[in-house]
């Protein structure tokens, strides 16, 4: 029998029981659809407690939509979005950002998944030239696709550069909870206080059944977002069931406890991996993912029992993710199997 839990993705985990309970308790009677209901109002109030009263927040079904629609709100089709080569918006969204915004994405090589001001400055050209797309957004991911985190000063430097050059900062926060937990920041300190303009706030990877939020730190940027969301086919009629999930996550520190746990499990996994000489951890483990180089022939053998994704085929690097429900025993059992397969 295959093990109950694997390390393929934090999206492969189930729903946190407290989130499921919240869905069940909202499953009473009829309420008005499309967000005009008490539950949605209350969830928005929770967001405002975390991020400040003067924000706007909109719920959507998934992370790709949060990113695409957030970028859409910031751009015209002749604009460009500067991002990293491994950015989810560039590699894993099937061209949806380009399709829906019409913008060109300018991917920059980013060791360890992070943009730097130097790299952005080098890509910032053609300004005012009618033949060139006009850079409008610096798009960063926190925690990054490679399991690393931007330090606060690194984000601040990017925001300062963006704002000095009439650009915005968009943050793909599919794993913002993991990053904030790892850095000991509040959600606000990890985002708004560093100059981020629009945030895709991730819920699903941190224990929701499904739901993400687009958070605007400048209300003016959200002026037409109701229409953008509806045209983007992301307006949920039974909105209450997305809203209550967020309320459960943001209440009683569930967001940070779950994220801390996933991060702690990743560090434990890293320690165990480092004991096996045939394996090499390739990026700093700063959130809930561990990227490992291993003998190529072992990959398929391990995958026979544990499904996971190969991150880089040529380099024989794989990605192992931990979730809110990963246990130390899961890791011990996994490592025992890996060790046997690599002959350690
Ligand atoms: C960095 C990042 N951003 C966004 C997403 C959201 O994707 P989805 O549209 O599958 O919810 C993911 C999910 O894998 C991700 O890893």
The pLDDT, as a whole number, for residue 158 is 98
CA-144 nearest atom, ligand 1: 1
Q: Whose C-alpha lies nearest to ligand 1, atom 8?
A: 63
10 pocket-lining for ligand 1 (C-beta < 6 Å)? no
Question: pLDDT value at position 325?
Answer: 98
Mean pLDDT score, 330-338: 98
Which residue(s) pair with 59 in the sheet?
A: 213
Nearest in space to 7 (alpha carbons), one of 322, 318, 262: 322
Mean pLDDT of 37-57: 98
How many residues belong to the chain? 344
The pLDDT, as a whole number, for residue 109 is 97
pLDDT (average), residues 244-254: 96
* CA of 62 relative to ligand 1 center, distance in Å: 8
Closest by alpha carbon to 51, among 216, 265, 222?
216
CA-172 nearest atom, ligand 1? 3
Measured from the Cβ of residue 131, the count of other Cβ atoms closer than 10 Å reads 5
Average pLDDT over all residues of the chain: 97
Q: How confident is the model at residue 81 (pLDDT cuts 50, 70, 90)?
A: very high
- As a whole number, mean pLDDT of residues 154-170 equals 98
What contacts 328, CB < 8 A, 6 or more positions away? 265, 268
Atom of ligand 1 nearest to the CA of 204: 11
3-state secondary structure the chain: CCCCCCCCCHHHCCCCHHHHHHHHHHCCCCCCCCCCCHHHHHHHHHHHHHHCCCCEEEEECCHHHHHHHHHHHHCCCCEEEEEECCCHHHHCCCCHHHHHHCCEEEEECCHHHCCCHHHHHHHCCCCCCCCCCEEEEEEEECCCCCCCCCCHHHHHHHHHHHHHCCCEEEEEECCHHHHHHHHCCCCCCCCHHHCCCEEEEECHHHCCCCCEEEEECCHHHHCCHHHHHHHCCCCCCCCHHHHHHHHHHHHHHHHHHHHHHHHHHHHHHHHHHHCCCCCEECCCCCCCEEEEECCHHHHHHHHHHCCCEEEECCCCEEEEECCCCCCHHHHHHHHHHHHHHHCC
pLDDT at 338: 98
Residue 126 has pLDDT above 80, yes or no: yes
**Looking at ligand 1, which atom is closest to the CA of residue 145?**
1
Neighbours of 202 (CB within 10 A): 27
Expressed in angstroms and rounded, the spacing between residue 255 Cα and the centre of ligand 1 is 17
Read off the pLDDT of each residue in 219-229 and give the average, rounded to a whole number: 98
63 CB within 6 A, ligand 1: yes
Rg (CA), the chain: 20
194 touches 152 (CB < 8 A): yes
Q: Nearest residue CA, atom 11 of ligand 1? A: 63
Question: Ligand 1 centre from 201 Cα, in Å?
Answer: 11
Residue 111 has pLDDT above 90, yes or no: no
- Residue 291 burial (CB count, 10 A): 26
Contact 199, 207 (CB under 8 A): no
The pLDDT, as a whole number, for residue 344 is 65
Q: Is the CB of 208 under 6 A from ligand 1?
A: no
Q: pLDDT for 260-305, tens place per residue?
A: 999 999 999 999 999 999 999 999 999 999 999 999 999 999 999 9
Give 63 Cα–ligand 1 centroid separation in angstroms: 5
pLDDT of the residue at 343: 85
Q: Would the CB of 302 count as within 6 Å of ligand 1? A: no
139-161 pLDDT, tens digit per residue, is 999 999 999 999 999 999 999 99
Asked whether 5 and 330 are in contact (CB, 8 A), the reply is yes
Q: Are 97 and 67 in contact (CB under 8 A)?
A: yes
Q: Separation of 42 CA from ligand 1 center, angstroms?
A: 26
88 lines ligand 1 (CB under 6 A): yes
- Average pLDDT on 64-73 reads 98
Q: Which of 59, 87, 88 to mutate to test the pocket of ligand 1 (most atoms within 8 A of CB)?
A: 88
Q: Six-digit token pair at 192?
A: 């708004």
Q: Which residue has the tokens 């999930």?
A: 245
């Amino acid at each position: 029998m295959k093990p109950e839990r694997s390390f393929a993705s934090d999206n492969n985990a189930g729903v946190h029981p407290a989130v499921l309970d919240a869905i069940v308790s909202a499953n009473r009677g009829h309420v008005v659809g499309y967000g005009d209901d008490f539950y949605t109002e209350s969830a928005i109030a929770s967001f405002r407690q975390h991020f400040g009263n003067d924000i706007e927040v909109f719920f959507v079904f998934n992370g790709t939509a949060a990113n695409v629609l957030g970028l859409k709100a910031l751009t015209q089709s002749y604009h460009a979005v500067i991002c990293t080569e491994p950015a989810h918006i560039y590699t894993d969204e099937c061209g949806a950002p380009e399709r829906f915004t019409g913008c060109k994405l300018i991917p920059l090589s980013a060791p360890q998944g992070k943009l730097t001001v130097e790299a952005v400055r080098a890509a910032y050209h053609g300004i005012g030239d009618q033949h060139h797309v006009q850079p409008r957004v610096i798009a960063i991911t926190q925690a990054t696709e490679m399991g690393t985190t931007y330090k606060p000063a690194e984000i601040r430097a990017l925001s300062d550069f963006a704002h000095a050059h009439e650009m915005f900062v968009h943050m793909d926060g599919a794993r913002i909870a993991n990053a904030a937990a790892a850095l000991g920041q509040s959600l606000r300190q990890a985002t708004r206080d560093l100059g981020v303009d629009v945030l895709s706030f991730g819920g699903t990877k941190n224990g929701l059944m499904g739901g993400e939020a687009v958070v605007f730190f400048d209300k003016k940027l959200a002026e037409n977002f109701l229409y953008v969301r509806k045209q983007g086919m992301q307006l949920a009629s039974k909105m209450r069931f997305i809203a209550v999930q967020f309320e459960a996550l943001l209440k009683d520190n569930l967001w940070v406890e779950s994220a801390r746990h996933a991060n702690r499990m990743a560090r434990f996994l890293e320690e165990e991996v480092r004991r096996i000489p045939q394996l090499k951890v390739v990026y700093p483990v700063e959130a809930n993912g561990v990227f490992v180089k291993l003998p190529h022939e072992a990959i398929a053998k391990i995958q026979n029992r544990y499904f996971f994704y190969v991150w880089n085929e040529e380099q024989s690097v794989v990605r192992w993710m931990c979730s809110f429900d990963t246990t130390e025993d899961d890791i011990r059992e996994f490592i025992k199997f890996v060790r046997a397969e690599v002959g350690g």
